[in-house]
Amino acid sequence: MSSRSLTPALVLAIALATGVDASGQGRPAGPAGATMPHAETAVAVTAWIPPKTPWGDPDLQGIYTSDDYMDTPLERPAAFGERRYFTEEELDEAAAKLARQTEAALQGTLQRTQRLGYSVGDARVGWGERPRRPARQTSLIVDPPNGKLPPLTPEGRRRQSQIKQTAISPQTPPASWKDFDFYIRCISRGVAGSILPSSYDNGTQILQAPGFVTILHEKIHEARIIPLDERPHVGTGIRGYLGDSRGHFEGNTLVVETTNFLDDTTSIGRNGGNAVSTSDALRLVERFTRVDPDTMNYELTVDDPKIFSAPWKVAFPITQESGYELFEYTCHETNYSMTNILSGTRAQEKAGAAKQK
């Protein structure tokens, strides 16, 4: 989007916690149209050397978004096999479709519909956010090579039948708020769910200070303050939705290992839901590599031996875009749907019981 407002109080609070001067977090100059290179051009990209912070760490700071990958599936459609990238012809077709969608939104032609009242343009309803350019990848999963999740363990299969409801899953009458995932309840999207692209609010801000990196996500506005001083993880008795993160640099790449997750809360899915919940054995390894002034390559390796039969990896670029800032995400303050869904269900149950008398 072209006009988004930053949340100064929230960023200032995180900056104070890490010792960062929030007023100095400007967007580095560079082309707004940076894109993920094809695999065969990756060697040329590595010649770019990122700037350093005053204390000598690679400078990763800025506000990044995964908007270009919001429509990319987690798992690769079978038709692509092990093909990780679209062809140039397929990318041209996708770019033309995006241009038509953007033009339709700009025209603002309202069309009456029975279901929603009004919609704009084409299949993407309303003035929603959309990619700026077509995604090059056929899926977010890059390993295994077929882009598919590894087989589930027996415990994973058991949990598959107990996936909690989300805003886009088939709806059944809820007995309580516990029937909904943690994102719908405005609690957490977890680490993976916070950075995997979704339909809106895909911003991630990175702040740095000597010995620390702070990663702030736009939706649910959760932040991780990650120490870089090789301290051990906290004890196994201390667990959280975002786990316990420890980081270090390998050359110009920030590597973050996160453990100590709560059991059976969020999942490795968009918004941390609509997928099998992970276990307390989950270990995530993230790699952040800035490859040009506006592009960061992001990798996430998932290792949860209680749920998945083998580790697997997600990878995609996140980019800095001119004018992109973080919106305040007032989830609890406007979560009328939770009260309405529960009260509406109880009213339906009462009405049904009255008919049976």
- Of 86, 90, 85, 125, which is closest to residue 105 (Cα–Cα)? 125
- Domains in the chain, number: 2
Residues 126 and 192 both lie in one domain:
no
- Of 93, 98, 159, which is closest to residue 123 (Cα–Cα)? 98
Residues 267 and 282 both lie in one domain:
yes
Cα–Cα dist 41/48, whole Å: 13
Q: What is the pLDDT of residue 299?
A: 98
* Residue 263: HSE in the Cβ half-sphere, 13 Å Cα cutoff: 11
Domain that holds residue 127: 87-134
Answer whether residue 52 is part of any domain.
no
Q: What is the pLDDT of residue 113?
A: 52
Q: What is the pLDDT of residue 171?
A: 65
Percent of the chain with pLDDT over 70: 78
Q: What is the pLDDT of residue 126?
A: 52
Residues 91 and 15 both lie in one domain:
no
Residues 192 and 66 both lie in one domain:
yes
Residues 144 and 129 both lie in one domain:
no
Cis previous bond, 28, omega within 30: no
**Is the Cα dihedral 202, 139, 296, 246 positive or negative?**
positive
Answer whether residue 43 is part of any domain.
no
Name the token pair of 112. Answer: 């009456």
Answer whether residue 54 is part of any domain.
no
Q: What is the pLDDT of residue 117?
A: 46
Answer whether residue 100 is part of any domain.
yes
Segments in the chain forming alpha helices (H): 8-18, 42-45, 88-107, 154-160, 190-195, 336-356
Cα–Cα dist 262/30, whole Å: 40
Q: What is the pLDDT of residue 107?
A: 66
- Of 166, 158, 202, 160, which is closest to residue 182 (Cα–Cα)? 166
Say if CB 132 and CB 67 are below 8 A apart: yes
**Res 6 pLDDT > 70:** no
Chain segment 119-169, per-residue pLDDT in tens: 444 444 456 788 899 999 999 999 999 999 999 999 999 998 877 666 555
Q: Which is more confident, 83 or 177?
A: 83
Residues 316 and 200 both lie in one domain:
yes
Q: What is the pLDDT of residue 86?
A: 96
Average pLDDT, integer, range 295-315: 97
Answer whether residue 355 is part of any domain.
no
* Residue recorded with tokens 């040009």: 292
**Res 23 pLDDT > 90:** no
Chain segment 250-298, per-residue pLDDT in tens: 999 999 999 999 999 988 988 877 788 999 999 999 999 999 999 999 9
Say if CB 48 and CB 111 are below 8 A apart: no
Answer whether residue 29 is part of any domain.
no
Beta strand pairing call for 295-303 and 117-120: unpaired
Cα–Cα dist 92/98, whole Å: 10
For 206, the enclosing helix (H) or strand (E) is: strand 203-209
Q: Which residues contact 11 (CB under 8 A, 6 or more apart)?
A: 22, 25, 205, 207, 216, 326
Average pLDDT, the chain: 82
Residues 280 and 183 both lie in one domain:
yes
Q: Tell me the pLDDT band of 36, cut-offs 50, 70 and 90.
A: very low
Q: What is the pLDDT of residue 283?
A: 98
Residues 107 and 12 both lie in one domain:
no
Residues 168 and 281 both lie in one domain:
yes
- Of 191, 250, 238, which is closest to residue 216 (Cα–Cα)? 191
Q: What separation, in Å, do the N-terminal and C-terminal C-alpha atoms of the chain show?
A: 55
Average pLDDT, integer, range 54-82: 96
Q: What is the pLDDT of residue 330?
A: 83
Say if CB 139 and CB 304 are below 8 A apart: no
**Res 178 pLDDT > 50:** yes
Answer whether residue 114 is part of any domain.
yes
* Residue recorded with tokens 């996708």: 94
Residues 144 and 277 both lie in one domain:
yes
- Of 278, 266, 319, which is closest to residue 296 (Cα–Cα)? 319
Residues 255 and 156 both lie in one domain:
yes
Q: Tell me the pLDDT band of 319, cut-offs 50, 70 and 90.
A: very high
Chain segment 204-245, per-residue pLDDT in tens: 999 999 999 999 999 888 899 999 999 999 999 999 999 999
- Of 161, 159, 109, which is closest to residue 280 (Cα–Cα)? 159
Please give the torsion angle defined by the CA atoms of residues 296, 287, 69 and 190, in that order, rounded to the nearest 10 degrees: -130
Q: What is the pLDDT of residue 111?
A: 52
Give buried/exposed letters for 215-225 (b at 16+ CB in 10 A, else e): bbbbbbbbbbe
Answer whether residue 148 is part of any domain.
yes
Residues 121 and 267 both lie in one domain:
no
| Lowest mean pLDDT segment, chosen from 27-36, 105-114, 126-135, 244-253 | 27-36
- For residue 278, the tally of other CB atoms under 10 A from its CB is 30
Q: What is the pLDDT of residue 174?
A: 81
